[in-house]
Amino acid sequence: MDIMFLKFLNICTCLLKRLSCNSVEKKIYINLNETFPCVRLLNATHQIGCQSSLSGDVGVLHLLESEENLDWVLRTGPNPPYMVILESTLFTRPILMKLKNGSSRVAGVLAVQPTSNPPEGFSPHTSCPNENTGVYSETYGPSYAHCNVTMWNPLGTGISYEEFDFPIFSVKDDNDTEVIRRCYMEHNRAVNGSTPQYPLCAMQLMSHMAAVTDTATCMRRNAPTFSLAPDGVCDPLGDANIWASTKPLNSSTKGHKDGVSVVIAATKLDSRSFFFDVAPGADSAATGLVALLAAASALHNATAELNRTILYTFFNGETFDYIGSSRMVYDMAKNDFTVDLDNIHSILEVGQVALGPDSRLWLHSDPVSKRNSSVNVETLVSNLQAAAAGLNLSLGEPNVTQPLPPSSFQRFLLERPIPGVVIENHQTSFTNKYYQSMFDNAEYLKLNYPPNLTPEEQLELVTDSAKALTEVATTVARGLYLQAGGELAQMSRIQADSELVSKMLYTFLVRVNNSWFDQLVKSDWTGVLSELMLYEINTSERKVKTTEPALMVQCILANLTGSIANITEGNCQDKKMDKDENMNKDIYSYLWVQGPVRPNSTERDSFCVRSLVRQSKALSPAFELSEYTSKNYSTWAESRWSAIKGRIFLVASHDLEMLTLGVGVGVLLMSLLLTYIVSSKADILFSSGREPTNATY
């Protein structure tokens, strides 16, 4: 009984100590609830991004009010290093580079996300995206290489491709930001030129990155014989391409298919921004994939009459030197894909297609391959122009000779000349002034909803943006129909659905978890998907191999182009129509989806969807070949990290800290001395006279 009591007492003591520690920590620190870090990426030659020291970087908060105020941070401020708070208007390349060059006095940067997009535009990407991995080089159209003719992203500052040796975080302009500002105003703000007095408000940002130098170095350190970290230090960027054919193709037999002529309809799945997990990609990714999905739906009942096969392809990792498209081309060239390059008839790629006030789209083609008489681009262009007839948009070709914009089509041209067109909303430079940034969002597309609507009413509302994109989808669908051998007289019955486009825009850009999308996915996916979609590519070694956009596109494409199979859930998961079938799983894919909610019930009518939708690898061939210094393929990898967090607290002066440390050391020494004296004299201090043996009481 005594032993049990002592155990109980010991447990209670431990719990009290833990609660006391947590209570003390909460009184000292205020944790930032939602932060978005800049992380480290590596390629064949160098590293980019940001990181903190192993235990995090600490600095006194300073709210930068203007660029002139930088002198306080970089030279005159008496309490370096500083943690600099930047409003969005000051988050510019000149200021960041000055902070980088004075990094000995800079502990980190906290960027405040604005509540609305900056009207002047903002793009942290380069001005010439993917310039070293496209088709144009010293051996192919050298006059077009390195954006010599057209600077595609003139607002690009390139800060996403700089290296910073201090952490840079972003926070939303909400309660966290208000607490930070109040802490700064109460403790750190200099009044009338006076020096702020201690205690001062400080911040700690933690984002230590495990990988350094370049991809070759980090992959070498990943090797079990070298790495001290059991999980490695970096992962190659990689994910999955999603594709579907309009006619059955046996996926178990690779390489050339006799008698098969394929029209590839392509778009990209990914985007990025300066900060990790903030990549809305509204125009750079979402408009193209929504238009192609809507076009696939419009063509669903018309493909049987076509003599060519349409191959819908959604490439992943295109932002990082065309990872997805280069892998598909590589597989085709190696006869490791369902079709090969000889089967390709032509390519139509859908890029950034958010319509501007002039409702005009542009058809871009390669001026070099067009010189080859065997490359017939004119037919594809005329089919698209015929497809747009009678719709509320117009198509044109650039009036100057210029190269293709950054596009997946370029990776196919690296292998051989193929007729192709890239459809975009810009004639020369991008009209998207928020390219690859956090501001390429629903607001930029003017995807506005009245404030009094419920989420369900917003889902059902057909916005003006959706109506405009429906016209684009109809044009794409009709153009593909004609290019695949359809009759011009039958083209007018091909029409995209504006309600479907509106639901997809809402799902991809506003709210993923909604009643329409919930019925298209497996039940175990609903808790996994984020509330807001992020178009960032995954890393190939993570547990989840496929990112949310790829999973979503796979589900939506299967439901739009597939059919309901009247089979059990078990047979659906086993990928066969009945227990004796073994062949169709190489042709069809099967997906058991939740289905709609029954009336007046919480139960759902689940069913099996059989479709021709497939996944293929979107991992750069450089990692298959172990060519980590390759100049032909993407070599991008992402560093691993252990913790990402930020917190604020009050810090005492250095003199007071030293005084406290000195007093503590003094008390410790005094205690040791006293303990020694007591221990050495214990026989005297604690001895007691022995009582006589004959004592009586």
Boundaries of domain holding 214: 25-122+157-222+644-655
* pLDDT digit string, tens, across residues 577-589: 766 666 577 899 9
Tokens of 23: 């209570």
The residues, any chain, with a CB within 8 Å of residue 676's CB and separated by 6 or more, are none
User: Residue 592 CA to chain centroid, in angstroms?
Assistant: 27
Q: How confident is the model at residue 602 (pLDDT cuts 50, 70, 90)?
A: confident
431, 356 contact by CB (below 8 A): yes
Q: Count of domains in the chain?
A: 2
Residue 680 lies in a domain: no
State residue 529's pLDDT score: 64
Residues 184, 279: one domain?
Answer: no
* pLDDT digit string, tens, across residues 53-81: 999 999 999 999 899 999 999 999 999 99
Report helix angle 464-483 to 377-388, nearest 10.
Answer: 140
Give mean pLDDT, residues 248-252: 91
State residue 691's pLDDT score: 53
% of the chain residues with pLDDT over 90: 75
Tokens 């992020």 correspond to what residue?
534
Residue 426 lies in a domain: yes
* pLDDT digit string, tens, across residues 612-671: 999 999 999 999 999 999 999 999 999 999 899 999 999 887 777 788 889 999 999 999
Calculate the dihedral angle through the C-alpha atoms of 50, 56, 59, 64, rounding to the nearest 10 degrees: 30
State residue 173's pLDDT score: 77
Residues 348, 373: one domain?
Answer: yes
Residues 48, 79: one domain?
Answer: yes
Residue 350 lies in a domain: yes
Give mean pLDDT, residues 277-298: 96
Residue 499 lies in a domain: yes
Q: CA–CA distance from 407 to each of 346, 352, 362, 404, 642 (Å)?
A: 15, 10, 14, 7, 35
Mean pLDDT of the chain: 90
State residue 697's pLDDT score: 45
Residue 605 lies in a domain: no
**What 3-state DSSP class applies to 554?**
helix
Residue 595 lies in a domain: no
Using the Cα atoms of residue 100, residue 102, residue 106 and residue 107 in order, give the sign of their dihedral.
positive
Residues 185, 302: one domain?
Answer: no
Name 201's bridge partners: 650
Residues 202, 333: one domain?
Answer: no
* pLDDT digit string, tens, across residues 221-236: 988 766 555 678 999 9
695 has pLDDT over 60: no
CA–CA separation, 447 and 466 (whole Å): 8
Residue 208 lies in a domain: yes
- Ordered DSSP codes for 558-620: HHHH-EEE---HHHHHTTSSSTT--SGGGT-EEEEE--PBPTTSS-B--EEEEE-EEEEEEE-
1 has pLDDT over 70: no
Residue 458 lies in a domain: yes
* pLDDT digit string, tens, across residues 537-582: 666 554 335 678 899 999 999 999 999 999 989 888 887 776 666 6
421, 265 contact by CB (below 8 A): no
Strands 589-593, 607-611: pairing is antiparallel
Q: Is 240 left (phi over 0), alpha (psi -120 to 50) or beta?
A: beta
Residues 209, 327: one domain?
Answer: no
CA–CA separation, 211 and 221 (whole Å): 9
| DSSP code at position 237 | B
- Ordered DSSP codes for 469-517: HHHHHHHHHHHHHHHTT--GGGGGG----HHHHHHHHHHHHT-SS-HHH
Tokens 């309600």 correspond to what residue?
499
22 has pLDDT over 70: no
6 has pLDDT over 50: no
Residues 261, 206: one domain?
Answer: no
State residue 263's pLDDT score: 98
Residues 212, 313: one domain?
Answer: no
366 has pLDDT over 70: yes
Q: How many CB atoms lie within 10 A of CB 360?
A: 14
408 has pLDDT over 50: yes
Give mean pLDDT, residues 185-206: 88
152 has pLDDT over 80: yes
Q: How many CB atoms lie within 10 A of CB 259?
A: 5
CA–CA separation, 287 and 299 (whole Å): 18
506 closest CA partner among 566, 456, 572 = 456
Residues 269, 196: one domain?
Answer: no
Burial class (CB in 10 A: 0-12, 13-18, 19+), 417: middle
- Contacts of 81-84 with C-beta under 8 Å, sequence gap 24+, read 81/57, 81/105, 81/106, 81/107, 82/106, 82/107, 83/57, 83/58, 83/59, 83/107, 83/108, 83/109, 83/110, 83/202, 83/203, 83/205, 84/108, 84/109, 84/110
State residue 7's pLDDT score: 43
**Domain at 266, CATH number:** 3.40.630.10
211 closest CA partner among 642, 639, 641, 644 = 639
State residue 528's pLDDT score: 60
CA–CA separation, 28 and 251 (whole Å): 60
8 has pLDDT over 70: no
| Maximal C-alpha separation, the chain | 131
Residues 103, 161: one domain?
Answer: yes
Count of alpha carbons within 13 angstroms of residue 2, beta-carbon side? 0
Residues 215, 253: one domain?
Answer: no
192 has pLDDT over 90: no
19 has pLDDT over 50: no
Give mean pLDDT, residues 240-254: 95
Output 22 or 362, whichever has higher pLDDT: 362
State residue 543's pLDDT score: 39
Of the ranges 26-30, 32-36, 165-169, 193-197, which one carries the lowest mean pLDDT score? 193-197
Output 192 or 49, whichever has higher pLDDT: 49
CA–CA separation, 535 and 273 (whole Å): 10
CA–CA separation, 269 and 275 (whole Å): 18
User: Residue 579 CA to chain centroid, in angstroms?
Assistant: 41
9 has pLDDT over 50: no
CA–CA separation, 35 and 646 (whole Å): 7
| DSSP code at position 74 | I
Give mean pLDDT, residues 173-196: 86
Residues 214, 324: one domain?
Answer: no
CA–CA separation, 344 and 375 (whole Å): 12
